[in-house]
Structure 1
Amino acid sequence: MSFVEYSEEIREGDVAIVYLGHESMMPVKVRHGAQTQTRYGAIRHSADLIGKRYGAKVTCSKGGWVHVLHPTPELWTVTLPHRTQILYTTDIATITLMLELKPGSVVCESGTGSGSLSHAILRSIAPTGHLHTVEFHQQRAQIAKEEFAEHRVDHLVTVSNADVCKDGFGVAGVADAVFLDIPSPWEAVPHAKAALKSHGGRVCSFSPCMEQAQKTCEALLALNFEEINTLEVVLRVHEVRTVSMPLADFGADFGPPAPPLPAVTLKTTTPPREMAAHTGYLTFATKPRTRIV
């Protein structure tokens, strides 16, 4: 099992995602002799998981059943243990698109946090890319390092415990893209520019407040970054339903009354009355190519 390579069969040591229904899921570390308790009863790892195919339907001790899914960055985002606030799939998809990540890309990230975005980056840049991720908090950095090893992606990532605003990313001239998720990203912009390759690259900064985004844009402009823009991703899901509408009867000028007109069946959409709106502002910019005189 790896978060960047699909496996058919569940093996000991894998991190499997148990789907309990109604969008309820939980991650399970598969071990010989272990059991996992669910509301449908116990799952015995040796008998019920090891050797079974991912996606299989597993019957629990009380007679209920669950599905066991192969881990993906999207599933990990909704089941991971929170050490910090995290980014979710809507913003993550925009970030990986706008940073133009692809297999072989080299990326610098700060801070690592709970690793939600990190796993999506690793899948995008595998099998030949590399992620340099920096976390200010020592314990969080160590836990992230252990998780990457457990998820068998540690060959694609280097975890550092440092203050990126003071010390930078520990690399220079190697990155195709830089991502910043820190309280004062404008202080790290010079280090981001130094980490990017001489032929240019992309920067993204995530900030919950517009004042942070403004200061970051000013810092990017001062260092001659181009194509600077800030966007906010708002997901609005419309409910599609079928309605029946009678045709209008405008009456007749003469003659007997007309028979009732038949109703027409239509599809319509209804916007949500309430929705989760603001998550944060994403500021993107491009480092221009170094001109050789």
Structure 2
Amino acid sequence: MRKIKIGSRASELALVQAEMIMKMLKEKFPQYDYEIIKIKTLGDKILDKTLSKIGGKGLFVKEIQTALLEESVDLAVHSMKDMPAESPEGLMLAAITEREDPRDVLVTKSGKALEELSTNASIGTSSLRRKAQLLNLRKDLVLKDIRGNVATRLNKIDTEGLDAVTLAAAGLKRLGYDDSNFYYLDIEAFTPAVGQGALGCEIRRNDQMLYDMFQEINHKETYNCVMGERVFLKLLEGGCHIPIGAYAQKVGEELWMTGMVASPDGSEVIRHKEKGNFEDFLKIGTKLAEEMVKLGAKRLLASCENERGEIL
């Protein structure tokens, strides 16, 4: 009997997410054995520097993808917002499961709204995307770089005297946190990271058995939305890492997508929306990127040449 080895980061959230995928597979395919293999990524090892200084998104997936290519694991479970715009040669995204809440959350001791925080309030985040959008909404904010797992970052409200931290709603919900002190940032004014809230299952391209299995747990609506967002990311990001986000959703029989590019200091934010037939998700992502370029995204891309991309 084949044992299917699932590669995952070793953090609490990553393991919860890997277990979610394993449970889905077990329910559909109980005839196989499953095992989660913990893999420590470079992003997990380097905790004394902001990831924007040492490489961005790929630092959370590279070691897992290497293990997949070397066949020490059979599949990798990723938070889609950690994924670079393309998979390495020989690998593919076989499935994306149903999206959890895509919003960002401001966590304070009392659940204050962003506008209720005191002047010069300090907020912890290492995400260029979050920093830019926070500063665009409140220029007075003092932003502090924080690293670590979800619990560590939440604890920094006390240990570092922060007024708030920002995190992804999806991770907090999957870990079962009480949301009484959460303020959900409006998705119209605070664009999520590409793929935020969704889990991706990456396999080797030549593994037909696993590919067929994953078609049973792939969530078509989420897949179309996230893959549209990823086309937008691929076309705009290139070799330059900047504050960038996108969010697509199904509305009736259409797919509506918003793109966002910002200057690192939040002084300029460009947003644009495109919509079209739900099955034309790749075309919509492409058109959105083209329209954003017309609106000045290239200029912001050039100004961010030395910046590094989206961080957890």
Q: Which is higher, the Rg of structure 1 or of structure 2?
A: 1
Q: Which structure has the highest helix share of the two? A: 2
* Greater relative CO (CA pairs within 8 A, separation 6+): 2
TM over 0.5: no
Structure-2-length-normalised TM-score: 0.25
Q: In proportion to residue count, which structure has more strand?
A: 1
